[in-house]
Amino acid sequence: MRYNDVLERLIRTRRFAARAEMLEVKYCVSTPIGEMFYETIRRNNYTNCLEIGCLFGFSTLFLAQAVDEIGGRLTVVDARIEPINWDGKQVFLDGAAERHVQEAGYASRVQFIWGRSENVLPALGQEGRRFHFALIDGDHRFASALLDLIQVDSMLEVGGAIALDDIGWAMAEKPNLHGCANRVLAHLFATSRYRIEVKSGNVCVCTKLKDVGT
C-alpha cells in the first residue's frame, strides 16, 4: 500500500494538530491493521463502507483511500463528544478527522454524520442504506456495541464484512464496559451466520454468510 500524503505524515511524525497544539497519534488502530482494512476493501471490491467512531481519522484515512481507489463511498458516524481525555488532559480535536480527509483529497468520497450511533444507524436503515464493510469502533460499552452490531447486520450485504476493534481482554475486563466488543463476539458466533477471523489480539473481521432466516 502506498500511503496518501496525510497518512504518511501521521505515521512518520506520530503527531497531529488539534486546536493550536500537537497531539500524539494514539488511541487508534495500528498501521498494519489499517493496511489490513484497506486490503480487505480493495480485494473484495467493498464499494459501500461504514465506520462507527473515527476520533481524529487515522483509520478513516485507510478506509477512505481504499474506497477512493475503487470508486466507492464511505459513511462515517461519530458522536463527536468534546472535550475528550488525551493523556490525562482535556482536549478539543476540532474536527481533525474531517480535516485530515479533506487534506488527503477524499472529501467527495466521505460523508460525516455527527451523532450517536444508536440514533444515526436506525435513520440510515430507514433510508434503505446498504453496506459491504463496516468498522465498529465507537462506544465500547457492551450495550452500545451490541446495538451497533444489530443495526449494522441489518444493513450489511451477504458477503460483506464487519470489523470489530478492541475485542481483547484488556478492554473486556474494564468493569464499566461490561465485556465490550469481546462479549459481542459470543452473540455473533452463536448466530452461525458469520465467519469470524481474529486478525490480532484486538481486532477481528467477521464475514456475513447469510441473512436472518435463510
pLDDT exceeds 80 at position 130 = yes
pLDDT at 87: 92
Residue 178 reports pLDDT greater than 80? no
pLDDT for residue 25: 98
Q: What is the mean pLDDT of the chain?
A: 95
DSSP 107: G
* Tens-place pLDDT, residues 63-112: 999 999 999 999 999 998 889 999 999 999 989 999 999 999 999 999 99
Domain hosting residue 193, numbered range:
5-208
Local confidence band at 169 (pLDDT 50, 70, 90 cut-offs)? confident
Q: What is the CATH number of the domain that holds 176?
A: 3.40.50.150
Residue 171 in this model has a pLDDT that exceeds 90: no
Q: Is residue 196 part of a domain?
A: yes
Q: Please name the amino acid found at residue 60.
A: T
Tell me what the mean pLDDT of segment 119-143 comes to: 96
Q: Is residue 46 part of a domain?
A: yes
DSSP characters over 39-72: HHHHHHT--EEEEE--TTSHHHHHHHHHHHHHT-
**213 in a structural domain:** no
Residue 141 counted as domain residue: yes
Residue 214 covered by a domain: no
pLDDT band at 140 (very low <50, low <70, confident <90, very high): confident
Percent of the residues in the chain that have a pLDDT greater than 70, as a whole number: 100
Beta strands in 32-155 (DSSP E): 48-52, 73-78, 84-86, 89-91, 110-114, 131-136
pLDDT band at 175 (very low <50, low <70, confident <90, very high): confident
pLDDT at 180 over 90: no
pLDDT, residue 100, reads 98
This prediction's pTM: 0.96
Q: How many independent structural domains does the chain possess?
A: 1
pLDDT band at 177 (very low <50, low <70, confident <90, very high): confident
* Residue 166 Cα distances to 20, 21, 104, angstroms: 30, 27, 27
Within-domain flag for 52: yes
Q: What percent of the chain has pLDDT over 90?
A: 85
- The mean pLDDT of 178-197, rounded to a whole number, is 91
Domain for residue 191, yes or no?
Answer: yes
Q: Cα(first)–Cα(last) distance of the chain, in Å?
A: 37
pLDDT (tens digit per residue) in 18-27: 987 899 999 9
Residue 121, classed as helix, strand or coil, is: helix
Q: Residues, the chain, total?
A: 214
